[in-house]
């Protein structure tokens, strides 16, 4: 490259709020998007793809507000290859001090067939739309969707057209997770060597994980000359997900001896944002997930434990502190005070005010009375459980469940609905089924249960259960999560939280609107 870009620096382009949110059921609220964007900005992410502004009024408003609030990151919006999309995108991102328009079109034979464009017609469209974007914004990214399955000569041709039209970043998407590391590196290297003007722009890589190689393919692309990685927190994304931000960032940090590039990400903030994304998206992190999984720094084997006690480097290639963990899980108990709880919250990345601490402390004491030990993960669960408390139209007041081998389960649920106490008793195939039926009697709805998931927060029979419930009604999707030592109560609270979010989203979008469903054909 002859531009002034630092060849030792890899830009991190986070698309959690755009591609990550396209995971079925992962839709975030406006406030949640703003919160995640703020955390990404603080963490040192270079570019935040804040959304798809033309997809809905809600998406446009979120991108606009993120752009206004950004302090460090460049704010990017996505646009298909048409003037309306690009204009709408610019209207959203222009408020940022640093902004970017990202426009794309599918260039493989399979994708060209969708809008029924010839190679020449598509080439003209690329020239016109990239030129239009560059006339609005001096920082334009262009992507040939499904690049890894596009004919080589045509890929070179359209990339050259995009560069001449003013694109400053050329992103090479492995849209369906088709490529492999050797091929990924070779493709980037050959494009930089072959395409006229390629040395004047930044090449980026965008990999999906359909074959489990997204991280490897992204790092290979960097070895081939790419200097921007597109990724998401926890690898969130369509189908099998995207390249995980935490994996590529820590790989570059830990193996800098063989991958001599660096990022600007503050890795100590990784664990906190991972947990927040898991909470707001309703997609829990698998226990054995690299870097951020619950077991990533756990050692149960006797040989491993012995080695760890003698020298931590025996079985740990990075320190827990490097990703924002406290290193050791020091449990609190019922005799712990507010100061200890505040210190623990700060250690876990949560700064709380006095009023919020008071509320959390009450729930902490209640939990400590029911558990022998309260671990770090219990504290995180308490934070989640307290979100939106007191602001919902529907609230659980009390519950009584009868179940066993003698017959169907019975659940009596008392709720407060719009300030009025109501009660219902229902029978079902198990205590959770009976409870959900009782809630539906009290608040009639047509919501379909898409996901019901339970996992223990910590070990032991007194462990808190974290329950995730995802509901869909008339195309609107909402997720609720709650934790309690009583699994049925946690289930009821999660179900009610999801119902409350459905109510809010219906008020904002109206029934029958799926804000994520935009036809690709509209690009023409």
| Distance from C-alpha of 248 to C-alpha of 262, rounded to nearest angstrom | 10
Residue 206 labeled ligand binder: yes
Tokens of 247: 């994996």
Tokens of 446: 């047509």
Q: Comparing C-alpha atoms, which of 432, 494, 487, 442 is closest to residue 468?
A: 494
Burial letters 70-79, b for 16+ CB under 10 A, else e: beebbbbbbb
CA dihedral sign, ordered 322, 328, 329, 332: negative
DSSP structure string for 247-290 = HHHHHHHHTTTTS--B----GGGHHHHHHHHHHHHT-PPPTT-T
| Distance from C-alpha of 342 to C-alpha of 391, rounded to nearest angstrom | 24
DSSP structure string for 205-227 = EEEB-TTS-HHHHHHHHHHHT--
| Distance from C-alpha of 399 to C-alpha of 169, rounded to nearest angstrom | 56
Tokens of 318: 């990075």
Q: Give the CA dihedral 277, 279, 282, 287, nearest 10 degrees.
A: 80
Residue 124 labeled ligand binder: no
Strand locations in 250-369, DSSP E? none
CB 263, CB 270: distance < 8 Å: no
Tokens of 206: 């965008």
Give 180's Cβ-side CA count (13 Å radius).
1
CB 189, CB 200: distance < 8 Å: no
| Distance from C-alpha of 430 to C-alpha of 408, rounded to nearest angstrom | 7
**Between the CA of residue 486 and those of 360, 465, 466, 504, what are the distances in Å?**
18, 7, 10, 27
Residue 299 labeled ligand binder: no
CB 439, CB 495: distance < 8 Å: yes
Q: Comparing C-alpha atoms, which of 384, 374, 499 is closest to residue 436?
A: 499
Tokens of 490: 């946690």
CB 12, CB 263: distance < 8 Å: yes
Tokens of 200: 């004047």
Residue 242 labeled ligand binder: yes
Binding annotation: 19, 206, 208, 242
Binding annotation for Mn(2+): 19, 206, 208, 242
């Amino acid at each position: 490259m002859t531009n002034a870009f630092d060849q030792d620096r890899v830009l991190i382009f986070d698309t959690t709020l755009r591609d990550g949110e396209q995971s079925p059921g992962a839709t975030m609220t406006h406030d949640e998007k703003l919160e995640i964007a703020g955390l990404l900005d603080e963490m040192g992410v270079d570019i935040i793809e804040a959304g798809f502004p033309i997809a809905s009024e809600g998406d446009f408003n979120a991108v606009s507000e993120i752009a206004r609030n950004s302090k460090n990151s460049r704010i990017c919006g996505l646009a298909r290859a048409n003037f309306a999309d690009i204009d709408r995108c610019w209207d959203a991102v222009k408020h940022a001090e640093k902004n970017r328009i990202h426009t794309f079109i599918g260039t493989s034979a399979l994708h060209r067939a969708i809008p029924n464009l010839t190679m020449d017609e598509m080439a003209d469209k690329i020239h016109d739309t990239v030129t239009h974007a560059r006339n609005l914004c001096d920082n334009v990214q262009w992507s040939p969707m499904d690049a890894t399955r596009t004919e080589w000569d045509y890929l070179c041709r359209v990339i050259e057209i995009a560069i001449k039209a003013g694109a400053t970043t050329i992103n090479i998407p492995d849209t369906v997770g088709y490529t492999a590391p050797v091929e990924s590196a070779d493709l980037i290297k050959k494009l930089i060597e072959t395409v006229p003007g390629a040395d004047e722009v930044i090449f980026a890589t965008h990999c999906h994980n359909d074959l489990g190689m997204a991280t490897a393919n992204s790092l290979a692309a960097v070895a081939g000359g790419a200097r921007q990685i597109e990724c998401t927190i926890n690898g969130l994304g369509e189908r099998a997900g995207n390249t995980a931000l935490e994996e590529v960032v820590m790989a570059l940090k830990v193996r800098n001896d063989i991958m001599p590039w660096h990022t600007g990400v503050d890795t100590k903030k990784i664990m906190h944002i991972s947990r927040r994304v898991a909470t707001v998206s309703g997609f829990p992190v698998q226990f054995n997930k690299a870097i951020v999984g619950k077991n990533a720094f756990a050692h149960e084997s006797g040989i491993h434990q012995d080695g760890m006690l003698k020298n931590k480097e025996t079985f740990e290639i990075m320190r827990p502190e490097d990703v924002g963990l406290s290193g050791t899980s020091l449990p609190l108990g019922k005799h712990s005070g507010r100061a200890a709880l505040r210190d623990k919250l700060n250690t876990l990345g949560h700064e709380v005010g006095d009023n919020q601490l008071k509320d959390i402390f009450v729930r902490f004491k209640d939990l400590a009375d029911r558990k022998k030990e309260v671990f770090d993960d219990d504290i995180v669960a308490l934070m989640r459980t307290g979100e939106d408390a007191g602001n919902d139209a529907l609230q659980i007041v009390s519950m009584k469940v009868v179940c066993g081998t003698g017959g169907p389960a019975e659940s009596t649920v008392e709720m407060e609905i719009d300030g009025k106490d109501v009660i219902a008793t229902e029978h079902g195939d198990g205590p959770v089924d009976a409870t959900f039926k009782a809630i539906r009697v009290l608040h009639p709805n047509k919501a379909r249960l898409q996901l019901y998931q339970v996992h223990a927060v910590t070990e032991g029979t007194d462990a808190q259960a974290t329950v995730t419930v995802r509901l869909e009604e008339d195309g609107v999707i909402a997720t609720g999560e709650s934790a309690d030592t009583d699994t049925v109560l946690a289930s009821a609270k999660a179900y009610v939280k999801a119902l409350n979010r459905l109510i809010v989203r219906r008020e904002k979008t109206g029934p029958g609107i799926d804000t994520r469903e935009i036809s690709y054909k509209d690009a023409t």
